[in-house]
């Protein structure tokens, strides 16, 4: 089973992607993991990606797609995979489709975890992090025993810059411009599975499994 995860930052697609991968015994593949593995391994593709990153530039779509295609060609992905964070744009989706077509393959589902912007702002602005031990909390869903104090080490908790409402709104704006069109792209191909991401994690996962026929 070949699945692409879609959804805004904070929609919970990473969590659901990992659960899906575990459920079907297929790899969870994120572009960040691919970059790190190739750079650490000193591969040719990794060296090219490192060059762009060192120069403070975005890695071009063609190279990102080459890295992904190289990863999904590995033995552990023979029975499928869950792609998390790729594709992000229409050109990336077209490049992936072309690469898969050459192998006589195609994506089975594009799972879209749908959460309204205001719910994402509330969800992300409630996050708290410990700068000392790395533990993370949420003031509603996973609150520390003492407000703003880490349960693990007693350090003061902070709101990361990425989780501040103004930053979240900016990230959502970028998402709607760049990534939202992917939903239309995969809708046209009849691959989109829309899931209500406002429910709790277990209910979201159950809906995904129900809709993809598990």
Question: Do the beta carbons of residue 99 and residue 124 sit within 8 Å?
Answer: no
- Our answer to whether residue 171 is catalytic in this structure is yes
Q: Is omega for the bond preceding 87 within 30 degrees of 0, making it cis?
A: yes
Pick among 3.60.150.10, 3.40.50.300, 1.10.10.10, 3.40.50.150: CATH of 2-115+165-211: 3.40.50.300
Which of 18, 88, 164, 199 is catalytic? The answer is 88
- Our answer to whether residue 18 is catalytic in this structure is no
CB contact set of 71 (below 8 Å; sequence gap of 6+): 29, 34, 77
Q: How far apart are CA 16 and CA 8, in angstroms?
A: 13
- Our answer to whether residue 128 is catalytic in this structure is no
Per-residue pLDDT of the chain (214 residues; tens, 9 = 90+): 999 999 998 898 988 999 999 999 999 999 888 988 899 999 999 999 888 888 888 788 888 888 999 999 999 999 999 999 899 889 999 999 998 999 899 999 999 999 999 999 988 889 999 999 989 999 988 899 999 999 999 999 999 888 899 999 998 998 888 888 999 999 999 999 999 999 989 999 999 999 997 6
Which of 2, 19, 71, 127 is catalytic? The answer is 127
Which of 78, 160, 177, 214 is catalytic? The answer is 160
- Our answer to whether residue 78 is catalytic in this structure is no
Question: Do the beta carbons of residue 101 and residue 90 sit within 8 Å?
Answer: no
- Our answer to whether residue 71 is catalytic in this structure is no
Domain boundaries, the chain: 2-115+165-211
């Amino acid at each position: 089973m070949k699945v692409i995860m879609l959804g805004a930052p904070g929609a919970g697609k990473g969590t659901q992607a990992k659960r899906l991968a575990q459920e079907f015994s297929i790899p969870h593949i994120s572009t960040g993991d691919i970059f790190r593995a190739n750079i650490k391994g000193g591969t040719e593709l990794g060296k090219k990606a490192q060059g762009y990153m060192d120069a403070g530039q975005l890695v071009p779509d063609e190279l990102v797609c080459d890295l992904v295609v190289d990863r999904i060609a590995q033995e552990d992905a023979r029975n499928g995979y869950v792609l998390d964070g790729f594709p992000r744009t229409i050109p990336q989706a077209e490049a992936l489709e072309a690469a898969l077509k050459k192998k006589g393959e195609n994506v089975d589902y594009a799972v879209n975890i749908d959460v309204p912007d205001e719910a994402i702002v509330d969800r992300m602005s409630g996050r708290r992090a410990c700068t000392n031990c790395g533990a993370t909390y949420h003031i509603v869903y996973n609150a520390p025993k003492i407000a703003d104090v880490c349960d693990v080490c007693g350090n003061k908790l902070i709101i990361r810059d990425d989780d501040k409402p103004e930053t979240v709104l900016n990230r959502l704006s970028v998402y709607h411009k760049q990534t939202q069109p992917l939903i239309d792209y995969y809708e046209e191909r009849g691959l989109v599975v829309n899931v209500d991401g406002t429910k709790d994690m277990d209910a979201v996962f159950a809906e995904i499994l129900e809709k993809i026929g598990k």
